[in-house]
């Protein structure tokens, strides 16, 4: 920066630098507490930028195990994340769970299912390991066996007594697991609880039961 002082009025602090500043501190803090990290950067930029941002994040700590990129960034951007992520799992965000059918059609010009399917196919083509979709799309995606190789990560699940807040596409954790979710992203139900440890423990017990039911169901088919 010193070299161009007086010649440049504003310095842009972009995705690569922002991630470089945060990644080391956050992942180290998580590692000290025994956690792996899902880097929820939701990248949506040109291929070069998302590739560089990915590279700086995964270079800091081995406990970063997942990283994501918006499907709307395009196949080339997804490929750059995959290439720079190495062994870190690349997840493609399909359509945010806060979007209803009307807003999806308005912004993307197609239904939720159509966009989720398109982004999932792009994820597969680009070599990503999985997708992020709502619980409501899980059964729909099962119609397309070519997508079975993609891990399903599902945010927006809620217990029946928990308010949906800004989520428009919700289901219970148990139903999401039974319908094919591999991972659940559970935030506010735990983070806003008076006793988060108790809530997390209860969720784990219910999820384990749903996994057992799904496994047993698969055996009887």
* Two structure tokens written together for 171: 């289901």
| Strand duo 64-70 + 89-93: pairing | parallel
Of 42, 115, 142, 168, which residue is the catalytic one?
Answer: 42
> Distance between CA 155 and CA 166 in Å, rounded?
12
Q: Give the residue among 134, 144, 130, 141 at the shortest CA–CA distance from 101.
A: 134
The three-state secondary structure class of 37 is strand
Is residue 42 among the annotated active site residues?
A: yes
- Do residues 119 and 68 touch, judged by C-beta distance below 8 A? no
* Two structure tokens written together for 193: 């609880």
Per-residue pLDDT of the chain (221 residues; tens, 9 = 90+): 678 777 888 878 889 888 888 888 888 899 899 999 999 999 999 999 999 999 999 998 789 999 999 999 999 999 999 999 999 999 999 999 998 888 999 999 999 999 999 999 999 999 999 999 999 999 999 999 999 999 999 998 998 888 777 777 788 999 999 999 999 999 899 999 999 999 999 999 999 999 999 988 777 76
- The whole-model pTM stands at 0.91
Domains and CATH numbers, the chain: 2-220 (3.20.20.70)
Residue 197 φ/ψ, nearest 5 degrees: -65, -40
């Amino acid at each position: 920066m010193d070299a161009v002082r007086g010649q440049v009025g504003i310095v842009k602090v972009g995705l690569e630098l922002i991630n470089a500043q945060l990644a080391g501190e956050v992942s180290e803090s998580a590692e000290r507490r025994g956690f792996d990290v899902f880097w929820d950067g939701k990248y949506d930029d040109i291929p070069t930028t998302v590739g560089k941002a990915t590279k700086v994040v995964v270079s800091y700590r081995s406990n970063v195990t997942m990283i994501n990129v918006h499907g709307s960034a395009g196949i080339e951007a997804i490929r750059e994340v995959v290439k720079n992520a190495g062994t870190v799992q690349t997840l493609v965000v399909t359509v945010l769970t806060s979007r209803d059918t009307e807003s999806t059609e308005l912004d993307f010009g197609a239904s939720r299912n159509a966009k989720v399917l398109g982004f999932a196919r792009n994820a597969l083509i680009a070599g990503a390991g999985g997708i992020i979709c709502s619980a409501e799309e899980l059964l729909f995606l099962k119609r397309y066996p070519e997508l079975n190789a993609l891990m399903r990560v599902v945010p927006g699940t809620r217990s029946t007594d928990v308010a949906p807040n800004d989520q428009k596409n919700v289901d219970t954790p148990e139903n999401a697991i039974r319908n094919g979710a591999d991972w659940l992203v559970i935030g506010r139900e735990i983070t806003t609880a008076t006793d988060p440890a108790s809530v997390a423990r209860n969720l784990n017990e219910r999820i384990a039961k749903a996994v057992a039911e799904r496994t047993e169901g698969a055996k009887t088919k």
